[in-house]
Structure formats: C-alpha cells, structure tokens
Amino acid sequence: MELSARAFWIRSPGEAEIRPVELAEPGPGEVVVRTVFSGVSRGTEALVFRGGVPENQYAVMRAPFQDGAFPGPVKYGYLNVGVVEHGPPELAGRHVFCLYPHQTRYVVPEPAVVPVPDGVPPERAVLAGTVETAVNALWDAAPLVGDRIAVVGAGMVGCSVAGVLAGLPGCDVQLVDVDPARAETARALGVEFALPGDAEGGRDLVFHASATEDGLARSLELLAPEGEVIELSWYGDRKVSVPLGEFFHSRRLAVRASQVGMVAPARRPRRSFGDRLALALRLLAAPAFGALITGNSPFEELPQVMARLSGGEAPALCHRIDYPQD
C-alpha cells in the first residue's frame, strides 16, 4: 500500500506550497482514503490564507484534522471526498466524505468518514461541509411553512442556505446580493433574487452571510416586527458596526449567531455531528446544488489558485480541486 502523500500547506500568510507527507500504517479501526476531490471554502480559507484569524480564536477555528497552527505553517481545509483504499468491507472502494484538508491520501478513524449516498456525484459531495452549515442554521432558525425569508449574501454559505430553504413548502425565499450575476445561481436553486436596494421587506427571518457591515444593516432593515437575523458571517479580525438605533428596539428585532462547531441546541439532544453531516449529503442529491461549484483546478496548482481566490482575482462559490488518480 502506498503510504506517502502530498499536502497543501500555508507556510505563512499569503504563502503556500505542496509538501510531501509520510503516512502512518493504519491501525485497528482506521481507514486509508485516496482523495479524488476537495473543495475550497473560499470565505473561511481565504481568511486563513491571509492570516486573518484572531489570536483569541485560534482554538475555535481549528479544523478537525488540521496540522500546524495559525497563522502558519498550517495545513487547513475541511471539504474532502475520496475512495477508501483500506478499511472494513462495507467501506472498501466506496466514495466517502471527510472533514480533511487538501491532501492526496490520508489515514483517519473510521467514524470520521461518511459514505457518499448513491445518487450523489462525488464531485458534488465536496459541498457537504457547507450544506451541513446550512442545515445547522435552519435548525437554529426553525423556519415555518409559509415564512417570508431573505438570505443576504450569495456566497457559498448563503447559497447553500437558500438551496435548503427552497425545499421548504410555501416559503417565499429571496437571495440578496450586490452581484447581479448571482441571479443565475438563484434561478438554479429555485429561489428569487434581488439586489440589496430592490429586496422586499417584511421578512420573518433573514439569514446574513455577506460578512459585510452593509449586509448586516440591510438584513435588519428587511425584517418584519419581531423578526430575527441569523448571523452566519465570520468576520475574523475585522470589527463591524451594528445599527442598533432606528427601528431595532421599536420593532423588537433580534440578531442571533449560528455556527457549525456545535449542533444547534434545538437538535443537540437527538442529533449527532454524524447525523447532521449524513443529512447534508442526502440533500446533495438535488442537482440544483451543482450550481455552487463554479470552477475547478488540479491539485498541483492549489498554491497559486488559493492566492487568486484570496485576492479576489478568481471569484468563486466553491472551487473544486481535482486530484491525480495514480
């Protein structure tokens, strides 16, 4: 069995490379996975790439199988789909999803991998970690049938939330973004689109995922009385202003954080991390989610690709990384 691999490392903020890795022999209860695709979660990974993780969030921001430490050298990432090369018979040869960084081959405990369901293409399954974030956000928000909902920010997380909400009966879902090109993504997901100035108010819920002050302010403006903003943005080391004057108190508005690091309280007693991730993978059977993968590159080019994504030169929702099949 081949026990060597190559991995993407951030040497220091803005500098990255591909490094050789020697893998340990798999022990009892461990599997060996050969990566076929990984995904770049552009918002979070660009922030890590530029060294924007605040020091007091180093522990919170650790990825499940991260090596090294912020700001670098660090091996970071969490959207990985591969084939099990060594493991129990029920997993051998199967495509699995794992919250593993960008690496050609790896050894993990068997419970760390989740089989990709039949009917979900492996290249689409790289979205599972982000759709899992969307599932958790909906568990936090508890939308009701027929709700009027806005999603402000049509990045990878916002589009994932909109895609899951599109399946909720009777809901009026509007995806709001400053980029008019996102209208095409909204159509693919089966929801309405609006530029910020054209968005309809009176929303029961607003999911905010633009990571901008203007987006948060507009989210509050779109709420009906006693409505709630579910804040999904990660601002890193940036400070933001929240407009708590104007109608905030008279309309009894609320802003609540949602973060995928813990299962939402409403489901925590009855759902595990594995349950949540398995649900996200099942939802990816919907072909509409394919619209979230907006580019792809070979693994060897990842250091240059990450620099372009971080610098905004290569706009993307999810950028897929394709691995050599040797």
Band of pLDDT at residue 3, cut at 50, 70 and 90: confident
Helices (H) and strands (E) in the chain, counts: 8, 17
What pLDDT sits at residue 177?
A: 98
Residue 291 backbone dihedrals phi, psi, to 5 degrees: -65, -15
Residue 287 has pLDDT above 90, yes or no: yes
CATH 3.90.180.10: which residues of the chain? 4-127+284-322
Contact 228, 140 (CB under 8 A): no
CATH 3.40.50.720: which residues of the chain? 132-257
What pLDDT sits at residue 2?
A: 62
Select from 3.90.180.10, 3.30.310.80, 2.40.160.20, 3.20.20.70 the CATH code of 4-127+284-322. Answer: 3.90.180.10
For residue 8, how many other CB atoms are within 10 A of its CB?
Answer: 25
Residue 237 has pLDDT above 80, yes or no: no
Residue 126 has pLDDT above 80, yes or no: yes
Residue 279 has pLDDT above 80, yes or no: yes
Question: Residue 153 region, left (φ>0) first, then alpha (ψ -120 to 50), else beta?
Answer: left
Six-digit token pair at 289? 């989610």
What pLDDT sits at residue 326?
A: 65
The model's pTM is: 0.92
For 75-101, write each residue's pLDDT tens digit.
Answer: 999 999 999 999 999 999 999 999 999
The topology (CATH level 3) of 132-257 is Rossmann fold (3.40.50)
CB proximity list for 111: less than 8 A, separation 6 or greater: 274
- Measure the CA–CA gap between 173 and 163, rounded to whole angstroms: 10
Band of pLDDT at residue 314, cut at 50, 70 and 90: confident
For 62-76, write each residue's pLDDT tens digit.
Answer: 999 999 999 999 999
For 153-181, write each residue's pLDDT tens digit.
Answer: 999 999 999 999 999 999 999 999 999 99
